Amino acid sequence: MNILLVDDHAVVRQGYASLLRAVLPTMQVREAASGEEALARVQEQVPNLVIMDFGLPGISGLETTRRLRQRLPQLRVLFFSMHDELPLVRQALDAGASGYLTKNSAPEVLIEAVQRVLAGQAYIEQPLATQLACTSHQPASDPRLQCMTQRELEIFVMLAKGTPVRAIAEQLCISAKTVSNHLTLLKSKLQVSSHAELVHLGIDLGVVRVAG
């Protein structure tokens, strides 16, 4: 059996790959640094499981998952991301993911998730599963979120959480100018005129949680 671990941060990717190899010694763990590389790796050898980051340079993790699942409907994908916003979790599941957990999870949680998904079960990190259950009566996706591309949604969430443009650019491996262009388009699509209004809209849509 083999796992493909997709993450654009080399230190993070190699650290988790080492963990998986140590705990699951019979498992072959391959790595990819982008969605494009992941698609090529899968074409070379179909994995039993893809562990997918959400934010990738170029093709997003969501779009990569959609393309992989379109080509291989039985392929299991486990999202492993810094994002814990419910709209993004729902989009990952809608894209065909078998599970979702955040990078705040303990190593043993990652291992449990991998084993469960490999066994054909679904796995959603417990706090996220509870939130999804509590909001199951709500529409899966607000129309204002549906109007966004995957990259726009990702940038919207980060902006709404107060992440500076330059930091977003560094995390997504794109230029600050590209982030600013996305921000301009988002303001137009969402009919807001300021960053503050965008943050308030993020709270209203549930992509940002207010501590209280």
Q: Are 205 and 211 in contact (CB under 8 A)?
A: no
Q: Kindly report the average pLDDT of the chain as a whole number.
A: 86
The residue with greater pLDDT, 155 or 115, is: 115
Residue 84 pLDDT > 70: yes
- Degrees, nearest 5: CA angle 182-183-187: 115
- Report the C-alpha gap between 197 and 212 in whole angstroms: 20
pLDDT tier at 65 (50, 70, 90 boundaries)? very high
pLDDT tier at 39 (50, 70, 90 boundaries)? very high
Residue 212 pLDDT > 50: no
Q: What percent of the chain has pLDDT over 70?
A: 92
The residue with greater pLDDT, 179 or 153, is: 179
pLDDT tens for each residue of 121-134: 999 988 888 777 66
Residue 205 pLDDT > 70: yes
Residue 68 pLDDT > 50: yes
Say what the pLDDT of residue 95 is: 86
The residue with greater pLDDT, 58 or 22, is: 22
Residue 22 pLDDT > 70: yes
Tally of residues, the chain: 212
The structure tokens 């209280």 sit at 212
From 80, 70, 1, 17, select the one nearest 39 (Cα to Cα): 70
Which tokens in the block code for residue 75?
């392929």
Q: Are 103 and 82 in contact (CB under 8 A)?
A: yes
pLDDT tens for each residue of 43-57: 999 999 999 998 887
Return the half-sphere exposure (C-beta side, CA atoms, 13 A cut-off) of residue 61.
Answer: 31
Residue 2 pLDDT > 80: yes
Q: Provide mean pLDDT across the span 99-103.
A: 93
pLDDT tens for each residue of 135-160: 654 444 567 776 777 778 878 888 88
Q: Provide mean pLDDT across the span 47-70.
A: 89
- Degrees, nearest 5: CA angle 97-101-104: 155
Q: Provide mean pLDDT across the span 156-173.
A: 82
pLDDT tier at 173 (50, 70, 90 boundaries)? confident
- Report the C-alpha gap between 20 and 24 in whole angstroms: 6
